Chain A
């Protein structure tokens, strides 16, 4: 099936199998390997991206469902080489270790701060509970999101 979408500002058109998952489409057909696959049950959040401005788990969407969609992945977070404040905050507060969950975690944090620019600690923990991190114990991720919130 033909599927078109705009990813990080670039228009793409591909002929894909109907069963192709969006995450595979991004990784295999566009080479955007910053979006990771950590599970196959929508549980881990490593594949979190933005579809039309809303976070979505790209392992649970078919590519063809996103025909015409505007998609943003971790590769599109920085603008003109300038890191997004959330990216900066993750580095500043040591909010990552192995880095595997980090792209999804950053996009979920972005969604939270869009909706709630000054979240409490509890609101941050609730907002990122769909994203597993096995390295950090979440402590510094929470601090990174708080730091990012203070920047805006």
Chain B
């Protein structure tokens, strides 16, 4: 490793953002561009009886309008990317998600028609004149209600709105019998409330069609342009991939919500071909609330059993998962393979079993949101552990330490840990992060402080959470066997230019993660060249090799590994050229500090001389191809498993129920770290979102299916004065199976923080008799719980 690995190098991408030169999709204007407004259903569930465009067509600037029936039947809609079958072997139900509704709207905001005009204002005016006649139908928004007999039915061929019934683990009979003989059983009913990811950049899509080349371009605010191109071409529109370019330029935050292939993307591409002009759609914020993929929304019953020594003997989890009105791209994987598989947590529990019943409701589609299934799993486990500790009268940290899987590094002597729920953890030192957290927080004194506060009538609480996550998504063959319809490798093309500068074309996509810096650090360090000689290019299917994009904390673990593979190829070929120039054999060369040296001599040749020779191959090894340009695809051998320990310290106002977060302390282990500044930033952002779920956020649908939190006036996103300064540290347990030893840091904060905050608030209120609270812990909810406990 050279000097740049592990250094907090300032970000190279920042200059354009701090000067207003970033280029987000909505900043793009194409010649002759038109603007689209989508007419959306005001009802959660309604038959569409008639759509009258006569007034709209006379509006100034009107260009075109389309309804579902205008789109050929062969274009069925956007696909689901992961098939999760019923536990009895029946195939997953897969209702279509058309680009525009065909006869029926299934959630408020469902796309009913599109109107195109010369300006955005004219498109909005014309859309307002579209007269849609609806016949309102009864709606259902709660997943457990939707799965019951007699509930309103959303789709043909989806009885009881059930998409699948799934299970994983040791066996329900095994878990039941372990619970029956347990010395203590803790039970909780948990609602993991629905969230809206809320990237601050609203989604935007521009379709552009060149009929002279029969070529489509889609500009879209996406985390994974190649995935969008594949899904759109192969499943949604039936277009040849080589005649479609997808560009995801600067993207203003994603958090999962910009992974999915949305109807608006395929629709803009299709409309552009119809009108032979570019067409742009930009979401208004309320449209984002109504149509962006939302997160979480689980209703769970869970039980954890302990023996008389306080050792965990069983965990049983039964979850109903709300998928919303249609199956979004990865929606079906989130409550199953990204949730059920994490139910082992950090503990040696010998019997673990989970069932998940997933279904549709008259709400916006639900899919991956930062953490995606792993926050839900961690919340269940860590609320149970902390509640059990209180019930059994033991310290929650001690209870965890007693039950942790012992440290292992993933080597032959300390192999990976096989869980009861399919996964094999790579390496871990769980007591290490918790012990460090206890030091950081000065836990013994903190407990005394809490005693004093309580004696003075103050409601102070301390809450823990320890977590593990599965990141670095994912080994293609493994996920394929579990129903994924895509591979999850990553690609990297390193092009060494003749004069020795380097361009990386990566399939990863940066929308805040700082890849342009981290990846350049990696390359500059390895090749011994200045960082400014490296350019990182991403986000354009016409430039980068086929890549799977950025989500699931995968960019460095998978995309970075592909870069390492390409670097190895570059150095191997470079060594052959250098050996030729030095009249030595490859085996006799060392490569360091940007030059190849004949061992034991001062004879050397610099990287730039080798690259120039590769492109001006006059004096060149016989039989070797010119050029220095290598592409690699890396398919991981396993998931990576970051872990950590988080603590919240809170004080609750006894009169109002308002929670004040006094301290937030965390120790995370994300494996090796390339740029600590960027990793800390990822933890900060993740923690803030997790705290948001615990204290502030929640998407609320009323009984009729109206989203009552469809603006920033109603949905409480964390603001600067809602949060304290975070106290961070880390331990380093390298990943044993990827070349960089990295695990991923994007989701850790979100996964660990939420249960810590809720555990702290319950701890604060425990002297009053409060045993459980449901998120978000708004003052109203906390106050009501305090009154009820009196």
Give the residues from 104 to 133 in chain B that come closer than 8 angstroms, CB to CB, to chain A.
120-121
A73 and B19 form a contact (CB under 8 A): no
How many chain A residues touch the partner (CB < 8 A)? 59
A39 and B19 form a contact (CB under 8 A): no
Within 8 Å by CB of B689, from A78, A129, A134, lies A134
Contacting residues, chain A, for B514 (C-beta < 8 A): 97
How many chain B residues touch the partner (CB < 8 A)? 59
B719 and A129 form a contact (CB under 8 A): yes
A100 at the interface (CB under 8 A from B): yes
B251 at the interface (CB under 8 A from A): yes
Given A91-B11, A137-B684, A140-B681, does the pair A128, B253 have CB atoms closer than 8 Å? no
Within 8 Å by CB of B201, from A32, A75, A90, A98, lies A98
B200 and A128 form a contact (CB under 8 A): no
B685 and A137 form a contact (CB under 8 A): yes
B278 at the interface (CB under 8 A from A): no
Given A41-B285, A46-B200, does the pair A98, B251 have CB atoms closer than 8 Å? yes
Give the residues from 207 to 257 in chain B that come closer than 8 angstroms, CB to CB, to chain A.
250-253, 255
Give the residues from 166 to 207 in chain B that come closer than 8 angstroms, CB to CB, to chain A.
198-202
Q: Which stretch from B266-274, B527-535, B721-729 is at the chain A interface? A: B721-729
B711 and A102 form a contact (CB under 8 A): no
Say how far A38's CB is from chain B's closest CB, in angstroms.
5
A50 at the interface (CB under 8 A from B): no
Say how far B460's CB is from chain A's closest CB, in angstroms.
20
A99 and B252 form a contact (CB under 8 A): yes
CA distance A39 to B678 in the complex (A): 27
Given A99-B22, A137-B688, does the pair A132, B200 have CB atoms closer than 8 Å? yes
A22 at the interface (CB under 8 A from B): no
A139 and B717 form a contact (CB under 8 A): no
A124 at the interface (CB under 8 A from B): yes
CA distance A126 to B720 in the complex (A): 7
B276 at the interface (CB under 8 A from A): no
A39 and B285 form a contact (CB under 8 A): yes
Within 8 Å by CB of B19, from A74, A128, A142, lies A74
Given A94-B677, A96-B18, A137-B723, does the pair A37, B202 have CB atoms closer than 8 Å? yes
CA distance A124 to B282 in the complex (A): 32
CA distance A75 to B120 in the complex (A): 24
A138 and B20 form a contact (CB under 8 A): no
CA distance A94 to B382 in the complex (A): 32
Given A40-B285, A134-B255, does the pair A98, B512 have CB atoms closer than 8 Å? yes
CA distance A24 to B687 in the complex (A): 34
Name A's interface SS.
loop
Given A37-B202, A99-B512, does the pair A138, B19 have CB atoms closer than 8 Å? no
B24 at the interface (CB under 8 A from A): yes
CA distance A92 to B11 in the complex (A): 9
CA distance A100 to B120 in the complex (A): 21
A36 and B712 form a contact (CB under 8 A): no
How does the 8 Å CB contact mask read for A111-152 relative to B, with 1 for contact and 0 for none? 000000000011011101111111111111110000000000
B774 at the interface (CB under 8 A from A): no
A106 at the interface (CB under 8 A from B): yes
Given A132-B712, A134-B198, A137-B688, does the pair A35, B18 have CB atoms closer than 8 Å? no
Contacting residues, chain A, for B712 (C-beta < 8 A): 39, 41, 43-44, 132
B10 at the interface (CB under 8 A from A): yes
Give the residues from 737 to 760 in chain B that come closer than 8 angstroms, CB to CB, to chain A.
749
Within 8 Å by CB of B121, from A17, A41, A78, A94, lies A17
A44 and B720 form a contact (CB under 8 A): no
Contacting residues, chain B, for A63 (C-beta < 8 A): none
A97 and B513 form a contact (CB under 8 A): yes
Residue in A closest to B16 when the chains form the complex, CB atoms: A99
B723 and A138 form a contact (CB under 8 A): yes
CA distance A38 to B285 in the complex (A): 7
A90 and B18 form a contact (CB under 8 A): yes
CA distance A37 to B685 in the complex (A): 21
B565 at the interface (CB under 8 A from A): no
Residue in A closest to B684 when the chains form the complex, CB atoms: A137
Say how far A11's CB is from chain B's closest CB, in angstroms.
20
CA distance A81 to B529 in the complex (A): 28
Given A91-B14, A126-B721, A135-B512, does the pair A36, B19 have CB atoms closer than 8 Å? no
CA distance A46 to B199 in the complex (A): 12
B20 and A35 form a contact (CB under 8 A): yes
Give the residues from 267 to 291 in chain B that come closer than 8 angstroms, CB to CB, to chain A.
282, 284-286
CA distance A128 to B721 in the complex (A): 8
How does the 8 Å CB contact mask read for A12-30 relative to B, with 1 for contact and 0 for none? 0000010110001001100
Q: Which 3 A-B pairs have the closest CB atoms?
A: A34-B20, A99-B17, A100-B252
24 A-B residue contacts at CB 8 Å?
A: A20-B121, A27-B27, A32-B20, A34-B20, A36-B200, A44-B712, A74-B20, A83-B19, A96-B18, A97-B253, A97-B513, A98-B17, A98-B200, A98-B250, A98-B253, A125-B720, A126-B721, A129-B720, A129-B721, A132-B712, A136-B684, A137-B685, A137-B687, A139-B688
Using a CB–CB cutoff of 8 Å, the interface residues on chain A facing chain B are 17, 19-20, 24, 27-28, 32-41, 43-44, 46, 73-75, 77-78, 83, 87, 90-92, 94, 96-103, 106, 121-122, 124-126, 128-142
